[in-house]
A and B are shown apart, each in its own frame.
Chain A
Amino acid sequence: MAPFVVRRLAGMIAVLFAISVIVFLIFNVIPNSDPAQRMAGKNATPQLIANITEEWGFDEPLPEQYLKTMELIFTGELVSYSSRLDVDEEIRKGLPATASLCIGAAVIWMFFGILFGYLSAMRAGRLTDRVLTALALAGISMPVFLLASVFLYYLTFRVELFPSSGYVPLTENPLDWAYHLILPWTTLAVLFVGFYSRVLRSNMLEAMNEDYVRTARAKGLDERRVMTRHVLRNSLIPIVTLFGLDFAAVIGGGAIITESIFSLGGVGQYAADSISNLDLPPIMAVTLFGAFFVVLFNTVVDIVYAYLDPRIRLEGGRQ
């Protein structure tokens, strides 16, 4: 197991390096115009452009430019030239809100996704399954902005049940923190609940026909144990992959719409604001930030996967 983990971690570092090069190329090299000018914003003075050129090394060869860019990003010296704000600082400020949103939503979507998928599979073809299927499809089809608007209109405006926006840090007031996040959590989770329950349902229906499930029954296990320990356990393996990627995407700034509508001030909202202002340095940083999480969770998924399915560890190994 240990060599497997080390190998995966080494692979992760290589992928991250490749991503940083690609990001550098996309932002600084490929657009055929002066990157300093684009970075400086619309009303830049020639002095600012000259400073940026100097600071980022845009008049130097590409490898130098790459190193300087990475240095700026990783030492936290990156600033937005239009807002004059420190980019790392902004991301760091947004992180607790984003993490709160994503972890909470992930708990909800995993819990209900697995619950509904399990119930659906157990009662396949019957009323419970049909109702859950309809709900899942509705959840998958519902655009996040619509769902959020509906929640806001009915639950904060018509009936003042929940606060409409804002983020209260967990350390300040845990109850208020959860209270402010219930709607965003639900909004973000609905799509995934629908999707995960469908995937789990079909995985379980497939697993129920496996020979080892018949073996489990034939050795006299009770039905609940057969379903949980043999059917559900094996069906959850592909869910882990999905979860790793989805969770990485939302925590890396992918929950742009949810964060913006509920004004949570997280990383996603920062990304959205930067994009609408065409503010390049933050976009670049958020892109790398997101990529980092996707790669990190991919690696975590690989390692967890090897733990869940012992056959994986052999991959490329002994014959």
Chain B
Amino acid sequence: MSKQPADGPKTSGISTESARRPALLEVRGLRVEFATEGGAVQAVDGVSFELGAGEVLAIVGESGSGKSVTAQTILGLTRSHNATIEGSVRLRGQELVDASEAELQKVRGGEVAMVFQDPMTSLNPVYRVGHQIVEAIRAHRRMSDAEARALAIEMLGAVEIPDSERRVDNYPHEFSGGMRQRAMIAMALALEPTVLIADEPTTALDVTIQAQILALLARLNRERNLATILITHDLGVVAEVADRILVMHEGRIVERGSLDEIFYAPKDSYTRRLLGAVVRLDQPPPPKPTSTTGDGPIPSNISTESARRPALLEVRGLVKRFPVRGGLFQRTRGETTAVDEVSLTVARGETLGLVGESGSGKSTLCRAILGLIEPDSGSIRFEGREIAGLPQRRMRPIRGDIQMVFQDPYSSLNPRKRVGQIVGASLRSQDSLADGPKTSGIPTVSARRREGEAPRRQVGELLERVGLSAAHYDRYPHELSGGQRQRVGIARALAVEPRLIVADEPVSALDVTIRAQILDLLAELQDDFDLSYVFVAHDIGVVRHVSDRIAVMHEGKIVEEGPTGGVCERPSHPYTRSLLDAVPIPDPREARARRAIRS
């Protein structure tokens, strides 16, 4: 256990810094290896760092870099019969790596508390929120139920949950995502720990909620002198709250330093790559690949150009309501208007970015455009033809023209089908429609298909087109990385030669470096196939990167619409402004300046 393998690349500053503050938590040469069916996996490979009281240390890295495993190993949560843990974790001198379960239980929640990524699944759905906080309190303190409950209510109040007296008896599903994460933080802080480990605490939340949670964490850090380890892939979040940064890659720390050192003078090539892949909201997007072959549109004349192009999709006054049922016989008691009088236009070859937070009606709007749900009123014209309320039979031929790319490449591909079958199925379904009234498509693939070419060849070509190879034909989705899966999802959509692709958060489940690749691919395909996109995302930075025009959706309405540059730089609607303001800027100096202005 005392074996101390060579540390990763040592950078200056650590020794002086540790001399300045007494280390609260000291991690030395931590190695975690998991035995799997495919052999041993070295998840954490010699990680060392120190954490002082009141300090915020960010561990940054992409999925699989070992950042979460490192954090969980500190509390012994990765212990299992197939895990080998070496090295040392000392909390105020107490060794935790070979501590007994009983010793660890005292530390967990008591001294070191943890907040996890997904507030939707991190609370047990069958117990009331208050009960779960009380359970944590009573695991560590001799306290009556009533006292613990009073403390739980106090803590819920401290994390700004309104009406905490009543809310304490709610079940997790009665809380919104942001409230659940607040409840998790309340639970973590109820026992006044000295260290808080927050593992992607805001990743699953909307930007405005994220800003609130980050502000809350910053306040608690200040008020309680709480040492915090913040694990995240989002450099914007880091720039907002961290003091020091560790960059992890493939189980090792590749670089460490202060906020400014990492952001303004990165030494490691991976760090530079990570910083380079970040989509900056506050900077104009790089020229789209479209411009290399076209007449080189500069941002200012996009709007005039798109006005000249013929409209592919025209949505006018679209309304979709859902009944709210209740009472003894589930009678309709009222309605929620998910999409409220929405109008928008997408020209040929254009990308419309649709931005909004969860519950804003983006998904309902997309489903209506795809003909998956029938709108209550309004019109949807595709190439001049009315498709709203079209019967299924007559909608089928148009289905091929409008395709969708889904958010989660992990769950949107059938795990039991090979990649070739997944993409090939789309080709076949298109074949069955060949005699239907197909509007003039791009002649390439379908022309060749009629010549009787083997589907395997076609699928192979499609896979190559999206940056995979024909060799991926026989793979199963689980054998592919997230980025590769999303490429399969795009190939599947392309197989039927669509004119319009509705991409619902296509990159939000992907790592930043992969994200950039997929966005580039989408832009390239747009150019090659004259595609139009409706690009849906909650991240206005990503939307800005790819869109010609942006529509901001809020509570079912489009509150602002216009050319990308105009909406981002001169937002007219207060909601757009608050959305833009909430986006963390991956630039420590600007983040500091912004904080100064706010306070």
Residues 40-75 of B at the A interface (beta carbon under 8 Å)? 72, 75
Q: Does A233 contact B (CB under 8 A)?
A: yes
Within 8 A of B (CB), among A212-240: 212, 214-223, 225, 229-230, 233-234, 237
Is A212 a contact partner of B322 (Cβ separation < 8 A)? no
For residue B64, give the distance in angstroms from its CB to the closest CB of chain A. 18
CA gap between A234 and B328 in the complex, in Å: 28
With A3-B328, A217-B77, A319-B322 known as contacts, the answer to whether A309 contacts B122 (CB < 8 A) is no
B574 contacts partner chain A, Cβ-Cβ < 8 Å:
no
Q: Which of B111-126 contact A (CB under 8 A)?
A: 113-114, 116, 118, 121-126
- Across the interface, which residues of A come within 8 angstroms of B116, CB to CB? 211, 214-215, 218
Interface stretch among A36-44, A146-154, A279-287, A310-318? A310-318
Q: Of B100-108, B218-226, B498-506, B526-534, which binds chain A?
A: B100-108
A319 touches B324 (CB 8 A): yes
Given that A221-B105, A310-B125, A311-B173 are known contacts, is A214 also in contact with B136, CB under 8 Å in the complex?
A: no
Residues in B307-332 with C-beta less than 8 Å from chain A? 322, 324-330
Tell me whether B121 and A211 are in contact (CB under 8 A): yes
Cβ–Cβ < 8 Å partners of B537 in chain A: none
Task: List, in ascending order, chain A residues with CB within 8 A of B105's CB.
Answer: 220-222
Q: Which of B107, B109, B118 contacts A211 (CB 8 A)?
A: B118
Is residue B161 within 8 Å, beta carbon to beta carbon, of the partner chain?
A: no
CB atoms of B171 and A311 under 8 A apart = yes
Let me know if A215 and B122 touch, CB within 8 A: yes
What residues of chain B lie closer than 8 Å to A309, measured between beta carbons? 125-126
Q: In the bound complex, how far is the Cα of B336 from the Cα of A215, in angstroms?
A: 34
Q: A85 interface residue, CB < 8 Å from B?
A: no
| Whole-angstrom distance between the Cβ of A7 and the nearest chain B Cβ | 6
Which residue of chain A is the closest to B184 with respect to CB atoms?
A: A215
Indicate whether A218 sits within 8 Å of B126 (C-beta atoms), given known contacts A7-B328, A7-B329, A310-B171.
Answer: no
Given A3-B328, A223-B101, A314 and B173 contact (CB-CB distance below 8 Å): yes
**A159-217 contacts to B (CB < 8 Å):** 210-212, 214-217
Whether B101 pairs with A221 at a CB distance below 8 angstroms is no
Question: Is B420 an interface residue when CB atoms closer than 8 A count as contact?
Answer: no
Q: Cβ of B126 and Cβ of A233 under 8 Å apart? A: yes
CA distance A217 to B118 in the complex (A): 16
Size of the A side of the interface (Cβ < 8 Å), in residues, is: 31
Known A215-B184, A310-B171; judge A220-B136 contact (CB<8 A): yes
Q: Which residues of A contact B326 (CB under 8 A)?
A: 317-318
Known: A211-B118, A211-B121. A310 touches B173 (CB 8 A): yes
Contact B184 A3 (CB under 8 A): no
A211 lies within 8 A of B122 (CB): yes
The docked-state distance in angstroms from the alpha carbon of A282 to that of B417 is 52
- B110 in contact (CB, < 8 A): yes
Cα-based distance from A310 to B125 in the complex (angstroms): 8
Closest CB in chain A relative to B455 CB, distance in Å: 37
B125 in complex: contacting residue of A6, A212, A318, CB < 8 Å: A212
Total residue contacts A-B, CB cutoff 8 A: 94
User: Which residues of the other chain, A, contact B75 by a CB distance below 8 angstroms?
Assistant: 218
B327 adjacent to A3 (CB under 8 Å): yes
Find chain B residues with CB under 8 A from A223 CB. Answer: 101
Q: Are B121 and A210 in contact (CB under 8 A)?
A: yes
What are the interface flags for A300-312 relative to B under an 8 Å C-beta threshold, 1 for contact and 0 otherwise? 0000000011110
Residues of B within 8 A of A234 (CB): 124-126
Q: In the complex the two chains form, what is the Cα distance from A215 to B181 in whole Å? A: 12
What's the least CB distance linking A238 to chain B, in Å? 13
> How many B residues have CB within 8 A of the partner chain?
39
Q: Which chain B residue lies CB-closest to A234?
A: B126
CB distance from B327 to the nearest CB of A (A): 6
**Cα–Cα, bound, A7→B113 (Å):** 44
Please report the C-alpha to C-alpha distance between residue A233 and residue B140 in the assembled complex, in whole angstroms: 22
Q: Do A6 and B173 touch (CB < 8 A)?
A: no
Contact A220 B106, beta carbon cutoff 8 Å: yes
Contacts of B173 in A (CB 8 A): 310-311, 314
- For the complex, give the distance between the alpha carbons of A6 and B328 in Å: 7
B135 interface residue per 8 A CB criterion = yes
Instruction: Please state if A212 and B121 are interface contacts (CB–CB under 8 Å).
Output: yes
Query: Which has the most chain B C-beta neighbours within 10 Å: A216, A309, A314, A317?
Result: A216
- B139 at interface by CB-CB < 8 Å: yes
Within 8 Å of chain A (Cβ to Cβ): is B542?
no
Which residues of A have CB within 8 Å of B188?
219
Q: Is B543 an interface residue (CB 8 A)?
A: no
For the complex, what is the distance from the CA of A220 to the CA of B135, rounded to whole Å? 10
CB under 8 Å from chain B, chain A span 238-273: none
Knowing A3-B327, A214-B77, A316-B325, say if A219 contacts B124 (CB, 8 Å): no
CB distance from B304 to the nearest CB of A (A): 42
Q: How far is the CB of A17 from chain B (nearest CB, A)?
A: 17
Q: Which residues A114-161 have CB closer than 8 A to chain B?
A: none
B387-400 Cβ-contact flags toward A at 8 Å (1 or 0): 00000000000000
Check B187 for interface membership: any CB of A closer than 8 A.
yes
- B 343-384 contacts with A by CB, 8 A: none
Complex CA distance for A159 and B110, rounded to whole angstroms:
60
CA distance A314 to B106 in the complex (A): 37
* A6 cross-chain contacts in B, Cβ below 8 A: 328
- A317 partner residues in chain B, CB cutoff 8 A: 325-326, 330
Q: Within B209-254, which residues are at the interface with A (CB < 8 Å)?
A: none
Contacts known (A7-B328, A308-B126); A218 close to B77, Cβ less than 8 A: yes
Residue of chain B at shortest CB distance from A313: B171
Cross-chain contact A218 with B113 (CB below 8 angstroms): yes
User: Which residues of the other chain, B, contact A225 by a CB distance below 8 angstroms?
Assistant: 139
- The chain A residue with its CB closest to the CB of B101 is A223
CB-based contact A220/B101 at 8 Å: no
Asked if B109 contacts A220 (CB within 8 A), the reply is yes
Please pick, from B72, B126, B187, B322, the residue contacting A219 in the complex, using a CB distance under 8 A.
B187
Which one of A219, A233, A310 has the greatest number of beta carbons of chain B within 10 Å? A219
Q: Which residues of B contact A215 (CB under 8 A)?
A: 114, 116, 122-124, 184, 187
Q: How far is the CA of A217 from the CA of B135 in the complex (A)?
A: 11
Which chain B residue has the least Cβ–Cβ distance from A3? Answer: B328
- Nearest A residue to B190, CB-CB: A219
For A233, the chain B residues whose CB sits under 8 A away are 126
Set of chain B residues within 8 Å of A316, measured between Cβ atoms: 325, 330
List of 9 A-B pairs having minimum Cβ-Cβ separation, nearest first: A220-B109, A219-B109, A219-B136, A220-B108, A211-B121, A212-B124, A218-B114, A310-B171, A211-B122
Knowing that A211-B116, A212-B125, A234-B124 are A-B contacts, what are 20 other residue pairs whose CB atoms are under 8 Å apart, sorted by A's residue number? A3-B327, A7-B329, A212-B122, A214-B72, A215-B116, A215-B123, A215-B187, A218-B108, A218-B113, A218-B116, A219-B136, A219-B188, A222-B105, A230-B124, A234-B126, A308-B126, A310-B171, A310-B173, A311-B171, A317-B330
Could you list 5 examples of A-B contacts with CB < 8 Å? Answer: A211-B116, A220-B106, A220-B139, A311-B125, A319-B324
